[in-house]
Amino acid sequence: MASSPQTSLRTAAAVVVATLALHLVLIQPNHPGAMTFGALTLFPLELPVLICGLLLIGAAPWAVWVRSTLVVVLLLIALLKIADVVMFTALSRGFNPVTDMPLIESGVDLAVRTMGGPLALAAAAAAALGLGLAAGGLWWATGVFTGLSLRVPLKPALGAVFAAFLLTVVAQIGQVMAGWTLPLKPPGAAFTARIGAERVVLVRQTLAGLKAFEAAAAQDAYAGQANLLDTIDRDVLLIFIESYGRTSFSTERYTTSHLEILETAETRLAELGIASRSGFLTAPTRGGQSWLSHATLSNGLWVADQASYGAVLSSSRNTLFHLAAAAGFRTAAVMPQITLEWPESDTMGFETVLAAKDLGYAGDPFNWVTMPDQFTLSAMHRLLRQGPADRNLFAQIALGSSHAPWVPVPELVDWSDVGDGRIFNTMAAAGDPPKVVWQDRDRVRDQYRLAIDYALTIVFDYIARQADRPPLVIVVGYHQPATFVALDERDHVPMHVVGPAHLVAKSERWGLVEGLVPAPDASARPMNELRNLILETFSTDGAADSEGAADAAGAP
């Protein structure tokens, strides 16, 4: 019995909608820069393969398994694309399924703190609903094609189309992934299939890279070496400034105030007899994951992802702080943003760990930031540097006021008035909340500029106040902020060496220039080199041959 015109029309409409659904899934971008209307015009080479394959399968007994597998694979790749968009926005790189899974929890925590619990929960519910609707839509769309009845003479033609486009998909993916060169340009792109193939390759490469990293972590030319850091006759402070990147020296929106603060501080320090030299480092991360910079610097290995971080923690490698402790220093970590247990610190070489609860802050938090940088430095000085000590201090200080969302930004108060921090309460409640500010990217950038202004002012004001016996201070930026804030694609961060002239002068061999403003065209050293540079420069016995381990760790 022939189908009615109405039935035929419904079938044709279902085929059109199903085709459109598959088309949209296949052309889904994985980069924020590609999310334009132009993406709709992309012809996905996988589309004819899927449609012809489903038509050929038809009502076969195993069709349900093929459809189920296809829906799962398409959804997984769609989620990978979404993860890529988030990672490119925040960290300027794609998502690695091996190393980046732990970041999901951090991302949820940041969303809750930035958006508020109810709004974050609503966003999560909407995402879950969207995933369910996508799964249902793909199941329906694949069923439309397997449910069509084909005349037998059409099957050979469909088989030929299926084979031709499948071969084209393989050829196009191989060309993009540098497997070979095609004489002709394909009529479209197998973008979704390529994302899947690239992730398979990435997972294999990552697992192999971790093995090489573990081998490098086991090698350390400085282990057991005598006279390390013996030319340093005072406290050493390694200060990390959150989100402090090269953009402070390259982007006009930021240079106006940041350079003015640095130049003013440089003049003041020089008048007090405190020397300074500056340059750039290449950080292992962008936009977040500050702990990777901690690990890279202190271990002398390129720790660029969570898997490498775990590998180096579980290794027996000596950090800079292990070696400083062996040289007779009191080692400490001042970590105001650590609010939970931090068991991994036991492997990092710190004799003393001062987390948020240990610093005595009684004021209100500044959104995600637990306390202002001025309080952190004041508490560090009170707890670690005030009064007599039998050994010099070697401390890592992680400042947080310039961490996103950069709202609100505290102000400098008289150091004698810092007290228990309650003086900052009015500032902590000032201005619009993040969910208002972050609706306008220009306002976000303005807040970022103010936050770095504050951090730089506090750090160099503290150093200037130590002029009677200046410590050796190494100031390092953690990483560049997210690309939309930095407006600078490089992974470079500033480094300043500040202190007595006889020690600062030794850092000239690092390629640094005098003062607090690096040369505009200065190249950047990989951050993992700094550990060995410190050990080589400030030790009587000089350099050890440890470059092989650094190279094996994948430094840029």
Distances, alpha carbon 511 to alpha carbons 130, 240, 279, in Å: 53, 20, 7
Give the Cα separation of 36 and 40 in Å (integer): 8
pTM for this one?
0.70
Structure tokens at 166: 């499948």
Per-residue pLDDT, 92:
67
Per-residue pLDDT, 31:
83
Residue 109 has pLDDT above 80, yes or no: no
Residue 3 has pLDDT above 60, yes or no: no
Summarize the confidence of residues 203-228 as an average pLDDT.
73
Amino acid at 306: Q
pLDDT in tens, 416-425: 999 999 999 9
341, 366: one domain? yes
Residue 453 has pLDDT above 60, yes or no: yes
Residue 449 has pLDDT above 50, yes or no: yes
Number of Cβ within 10 Å of residue 275's Cβ equals 19
258, 178: one domain? no
Between residues 541 and 288, the one the model is more confident about: 288
Structure tokens at 305: 């992802």
Whichever domain contains 382, its CATH number is: 3.40.720.10
141, 89: one domain? yes
Per-residue pLDDT, 530:
93
Element (H, E) at 411: none
Least confident span in 12-16, 222-226, 269-273: 222-226
Per-residue pLDDT, 514:
94
513 falls within a domain: yes
Summarize the confidence of residues 425-439 as an average pLDDT.
89
Per-residue pLDDT, 553:
46
Question: Pick from 446, 375, 374, 377: which is nearest to 405 by CA?
Answer: 446
Using the 3D structure, point to which of 179, 208, 237 is the last residue of a domain. Answer: 208
421 falls within a domain: yes
175, 261: one domain? no
350, 377: one domain? yes
Least confident span in 246-260, 361-375, 531-545: 531-545
457 falls within a domain: yes
**Confidence bin at 550 (pLDDT 50/70/90):** very low
Between residues 80 and 378, the one the model is more confident about: 378
Summarize the confidence of residues 273-279 as an average pLDDT.
96
Using the 3D structure, point to which of 174, 208, 242 is the last residue of a domain. Answer: 208
67 falls within a domain: yes
DSSP state of 384: I
Task: Kindly state the percentage of the chain with pLDDT values over 70.
Answer: 90
Summarize the confidence of residues 319-336 as an average pLDDT.
93
Amino acid at 499: G
292, 343: one domain? yes
Residue 125 has pLDDT above 90, yes or no: no
Pairing between strand 330-335 and 393-398? parallel
Element (H, E) at 422: none
405 falls within a domain: yes
213 falls within a domain: no
Between residues 548 and 128, the one the model is more confident about: 128
130 falls within a domain: yes
Residue 501 domain boundaries: 218-552
Summarize the confidence of residues 133-143 as an average pLDDT.
91
Q: Is 413 left (phi over 0), alpha (psi -120 to 50) or beta?
A: beta
Q: Pinpoint the alpha helices (H) of 381-519.
A: 425-428, 434-437, 441-464, 483-486, 501-504
496, 381: one domain? yes
Give the Cα separation of 278 and 258 in Å (integer): 14
Amino acid at 501: A
Residue 308 has pLDDT above 80, yes or no: no
**Confidence bin at 393 (pLDDT 50/70/90):** very high
**Confidence bin at 549 (pLDDT 50/70/90):** very low
Summarize the confidence of residues 495-499 as an average pLDDT.
97
Between residues 344 and 432, the one the model is more confident about: 432
410, 460: one domain? yes
Structure tokens at 484: 């939309």
533, 442: one domain? yes
- The number of domains in the chain is 2
Residue 306 has pLDDT above 90, yes or no: no
Least confident span in 205-219, 355-369, 527-541: 205-219
Q: CB-hemisphere CA count at 13 Å for 542?
A: 1
pLDDT in tens, 139-170: 998 988 888 877 767 778 888 888 888 888 88
Report yes or no: 229 and 467 within 8 Å, Cβ to Cβ.
no
161, 266: one domain? no
First to last CA, the chain: 70
Summarize the confidence of residues 320-328 as an average pLDDT.
92
Residue 1 has pLDDT above 50, yes or no: no
Using the 3D structure, point to which of 188, 208, 228 is the last residue of a domain. Answer: 208
User: Please, what is the average pLDDT of the chain?
Assistant: 86
Per-residue pLDDT, 551:
44
Q: What angle do CA 459, 465, 469 make, to 5 degrees?
A: 110
pLDDT in tens, 329-363: 999 999 999 887 777 777 788 999 999 999 999 99
184, 267: one domain? no
The secondary structure of the chain in percent helix, strand, coil, rounded to multiples of 5, reads 55, 10, 35
194 falls within a domain: yes
Amino acid at 213: F
Residue 299 has pLDDT above 50, yes or no: yes
360, 327: one domain? yes
Per-residue pLDDT, 218:
67
